């Protein structure tokens, strides 16, 4: 049985176009976006309050493309896309730091296309440089490819991604420059091909100056402005479906990270799918403000926030990186209505709820996050912190660029990831390869969507294993269940490769984590498999206590064990033990890094073996 989208969404208004780049689709009225004339500013710096309108973004995109094309001898309609790869390794780009650049050295000083006054510079704030997205679209304007890099990457990881993609240009920020230079030198990117984005308060030294040998994005804008207009882009029908826009690397929570090849039409399709699902939940002509704190290198923020929000006419309030107090201040200052977050951010809110309670967060109506296990107490605390906010969970993957399902405001089903988006199909396959045909039957989720990626970069074997006859094997175990409103909802149980095999029985770590989180003194939890001579594998829990908890480690451990004995089957008991930690290692998207916990456990077991022989 093939599961399909809820009829409540309705179909897409038209087929996703395949002969235009993403920027043209987003910035022009003709492709179904919220009318430009009545749209909010696209991006606003959450620190300075300076904004970019649609016209600002258009101008900066064209200007950066003109100057980058001149520097690199790249033409919009000539050359191979794989010879025009641009890497972006930075925190989210916001407004310039005081004194970072002097505009008087540029022609056109005082005649900026920006909607703000030229006197911004005299006030020490400078013109906004919320430029990560304009840099991306400028690269696409030249028929090039963008590879976003996680800002937590160290030099060898950055160098590996630069090498795998064949990047020729690197955009970074001042606080990551030293790492960027090391990685760039390793792969042969010269210093004059490294450009600096501004991310505002991103250094420990606010007075640090930009080294003279590096050019800034602002200088590219000023230089490129003098070279406009740029040659029009002429794509053939179907080119947008084959032309790669992004190479985004998967999080690598199981196995090594892989580069996912995502076309222009993939991003356009998912933007349309998200917009169609949101349209039925809004009043006509309604726009809102959205939080842009998640790293733009991650597929969730890249598609849902950077593209999806602004297509709907919304305003994204951009912060350089996550800080709880900065985020809460921005929510209040800008009266942000929709929070796009990951579960660890909500857990931070819960752990710090005394300080969080000082803020009036009644403006928040939507809290959108990936599916996660929250205890009843955690749910209640979230509701107290955001009294008007609905927690809406969803499901997505880099390979589907990016959203598969999302919970609507009118049919919240706690624990589910919501119904499938328009034009998304899903089937459930059991371990023997049989297609399951009913509700509440668990198996591997296979997904088909117009946003489905083209495969993995330089990895034909993984591509063949994952992309099968137009379907993507997600590697996630899940099922469908009817919501209170009678709509088929996705429930993601766990990663198939992470299931714990106790004798012949399969145990989902997420189920055990959810039960641990029911304890009122537990803030976070993760469960992994550990080797056991008798059972093959048994579960072990890592637990983080709530900040103001007074319970001892021994009492907490005993109470959790007692609860499992009372409420769980024997094969699900935590026979591998319980270990108290200060934090659970997680990826930027909030996924538990079980591999890190398994490495930690392996090292501990090796140490125990060595000491026992002494």
Q: Long-range contacts made by residues 278-281, C-beta under 8 angstroms, separation at least 24?
A: 278/312, 280/8, 280/9, 280/10, 280/408, 281/408, 281/409, 281/410
- Whether residue 216 is found in the same domain as residue 277: no
Task: Say whether 469 sits in a helix, a strand or coil.
Answer: coil
Point out the domain boundary residue: 213, 234, 255: 234
Same domain? For 296 and 373 the reply is: yes
The reply to whether 356 falls in a domain is: yes
**CATH number, position 225:** 3.40.50.980
Yes or no: say if 19 and 239 are a contact pair by the CB < 8 Å rule. Answer: yes
Q: Rounded CA gap, 597 and 443, in Å?
A: 26
Say if 90 falls within a structural domain.
yes
Q: In terms of domains, do 275 and 373 share one?
A: yes
Q: Are 312 and 283 in contact (CB under 8 A)?
A: no
| Number of domains forming the structure of the chain | 3
Helix, strand, or coil here: 305?
helix
For residue 386, which phi and psi values (nearest 5 degrees)? Answer: -115, 80
For residue 483, the tally of other CB atoms under 10 A from its CB is: 18
pLDDT at 125 (0 to 100): 33
- Both structure tokens of 528: 């992994």
Q: What does the pLDDT read at residue 501? A: 84
- Residue 504 inside a domain? The answer is yes
* Cβ contact 185:214 at 8 Å: no
Question: Does 446 fall in a domain?
Answer: yes
Say if residue 258 is in the same domain as residue 220: no
Task: Determine the structural domain holding residue 158 and report its residue range.
Answer: 53-234
DSSP labels, 489-524: EEEEEEEGGG-EEETTEEE-HHHHHHHHTTSTTEEE
Q: Which residues, in sequence order, are CB contacts of 610 under 8 Å at separation 6+?
A: none
Q: Is residue 171 part of a domain?
A: yes
User: Same structural domain for residues 563 and 465?
Assistant: no
**Same-domain pairing of 471 and 543:** no
- Residue 259 β-bridge partners: 249
Domain co-membership, 151 together with 203:
yes
Place of tokens 């064209």: 62
Q: Residue 257's CB: how many other CB atoms inside 10 A?
A: 18
Residue 40 lies in a domain: no
Q: Which residues pair with 478 in a beta bridge?
A: 443, 492
CB atoms within 10 A of CB 284: 5
Q: Say how far apart CA 602 and CA 406 lie, in whole Å.
A: 37
Q: Copy the structure tokens of residue 437.
A: 């045909």
Output phi, psi for 445, to 5 deg.
-85, 125
Label the pairing between strands 366-370 and 338-340: parallel
**Are residues 354 and 262 part of one domain?**
yes
Of 442, 471, 497, which closes a domain? 497
pTM over 0.95: no
What is d(CA 603, CA 614) in angstroms, rounded to the nearest whole number? Answer: 17
Beta strands in 46-92 (DSSP E): 51-52, 85-89
Domain at 302, CATH number: 3.40.50.12780
Nearest Cα neighbor of 457 from 150, 171, 248 is 248
Question: Hey, what are 427's tokens?
Answer: 């089937």
Three-state SS at 187: helix
Of the three residues 190, 214, 234, the one that is the final residue of a domain is: 234
Distance of alpha carbon 517 from alpha carbon 539, whole angstroms: 15
> 507 and 599: one domain?
yes
Q: Quick check: is 36 in a domain?
A: no
Check if the beta carbon of residue 593 is closer than 8 Å to that of residue 528. Answer: no
For 474, the token pair is 């997600």
**Mode of pairing for the β-strands spanning 43-45 and 51-52:** antiparallel
**What pLDDT does 614 receive?**
66
Sign of CA dihedral 518, 522, 526, 531: negative
Does residue 540 share a domain with residue 485? no
In whole angstroms, what is the distance from residue 221 CA to residue 198 CA?
13
359 by Cβ neighbours in 10 Å (0-12 / 13-18 / 19+) ranks as: middle
CA–CA separation, 246 and 244 (whole Å) = 6
One domain, residues 513 and 479: no
pLDDT averaged per 10 residues in sequence order, the chain, 614 residues:
91 95 97 97 91 96 98 97 97 55 28 32 38 97 97 90 98 95 98 89 55 92 96 97 96 66 98 96 95 94 97 96 93 97 87 85 95 73 94 94 95 92 97 95 97 96 95 95 95 87 83 92 94 89 93 97 92 95 86 90 83 71
CA distance 53 to 42: 5
| Residues 250, 466 contacting (CB under 8 angstroms) | no
Task: Tell me how far CA of residue 346 lies from CA of 332, 490, 542, in angstroms.
Answer: 17, 22, 19
CB-based contact 172:147 (threshold 8 Å): no
Q: Are residues 481 and 396 in the same domain?
A: yes
């Amino acid at each position: 049985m093939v599961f399909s989208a809820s009829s409540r969404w309705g179909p897409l208004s038209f087929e996703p176009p395949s002969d235009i780049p993403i920027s043209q689709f987003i910035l022009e009225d003709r492709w179904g976006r919220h009318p430009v004339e009545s749209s909010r500013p696209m991006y606003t710096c959450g620190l300075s309050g300076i904004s970019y309108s649609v016209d600002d973004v258009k101008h900066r995109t064209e200007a950066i493309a003109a100057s980058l094309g001149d520097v690199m001898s790249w033409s919009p309609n000539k050359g191979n896309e794989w010879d025009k790869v641009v890497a972006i390794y930075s925190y989210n780009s916001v407004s310039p730091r005081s004194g970072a650049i002097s505009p008087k050295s540029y022609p056109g000083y005082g005649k900026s296309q920006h909607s703000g006054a030229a006197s911004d510079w005299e006030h020490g704030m400078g013109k906004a440089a919320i430029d990560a997205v304009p840099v991306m679209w400028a690269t696409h304007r030249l028929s090039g490819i963008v590879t976003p890099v996680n800002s937590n990457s160290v030099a060898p990881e950055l160098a590996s991604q630069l090498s795998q993609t064949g990047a020729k240009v690197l955009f970074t920020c001042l606080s990551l420059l030293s790492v960027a230079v090391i990685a760039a030198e390793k792969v042969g990117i010269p210093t004059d091909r490294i450009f600096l984005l501004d991310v505002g308060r991103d250094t420990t030294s606010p007075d640090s100056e930009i080294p003279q040998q590096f050019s800034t994005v602002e200088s590219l804008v000023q230089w490129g402005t003098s070279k406009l207009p740029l040659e029009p882009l002429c794509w053939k029908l179907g080119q947008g479906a084959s032309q790669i826009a992004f190479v985004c690397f998967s999080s690598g929570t199981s196995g090594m990270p892989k580069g996912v090849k995502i076309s222009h039409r993939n991003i356009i399709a998912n933007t349309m799918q998200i917009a169609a699902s949101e349209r039925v939940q809004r009043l006509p002509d309604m726009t809102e403000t959205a939080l842009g704190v998640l790293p733009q290198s991650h597929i969730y923020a890249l598609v849902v926030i950077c593209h999806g929000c602004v297509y709907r006419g919304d305003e994204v309030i951009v912060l350089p990186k996550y800080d709880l107090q900065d985020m809460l201040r921005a929510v209040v200052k800008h009266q942000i209505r929709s929070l796009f977050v990951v579960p660890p951010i909500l857990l931070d809110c819960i752990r710090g709820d005394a300080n969080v309670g000082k803020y009036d967060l009644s403006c928040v109506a939507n809290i959108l996050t990936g599916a996660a296990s929250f205890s009843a107490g955690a749910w209640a605390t979230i509701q107290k912190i955001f009294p008007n906010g609905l927690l809406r969970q969803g499901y997505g993957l880099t390979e589907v660029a990016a959203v598969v399902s999302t919970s609507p405001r009118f049919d919240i089903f706690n624990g589910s990831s919501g119904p499938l988006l328009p034009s998304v199909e899903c089937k459930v396959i059991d371990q023997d390869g049989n297609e399951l045909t009913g509700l509440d039957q668990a198996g591997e989720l296979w997904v088909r969507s117009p946003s489905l990626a083209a495969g993995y970069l330089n990895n034909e074997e993984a591509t063949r294993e994952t992309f099968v006859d137009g379907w993507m094997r997600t590697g996630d175990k899940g099922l469908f269940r009817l919501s209170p409103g009678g709509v088929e909802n996705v429930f993601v149980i766990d990663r198939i490769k992470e299931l714990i095999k106790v004798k012949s029985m399969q145990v989902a770590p997420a189920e055990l984590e959810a039960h641990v989180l029911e304890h009122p003194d537990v803030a976070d939890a993760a469960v992994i498999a550990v080797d056991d001579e008798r059972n093959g594998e048994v579960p072990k829990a890592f637990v983080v206590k709530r900040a103001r908890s007074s319970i001892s480690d021994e009492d907490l451990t005993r109470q959790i064990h007692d609860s499992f004995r009372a409420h769980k089957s024997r094969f699900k008991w935590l026979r591998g033990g319980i270990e108290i930690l200060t934090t659970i290692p997680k990826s930027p998207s909030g996924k538990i890094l079980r591999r890190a916990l398994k490495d930690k456990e392996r090292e501990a077991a090796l140490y125990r073996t060595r000491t026992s022989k002494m």
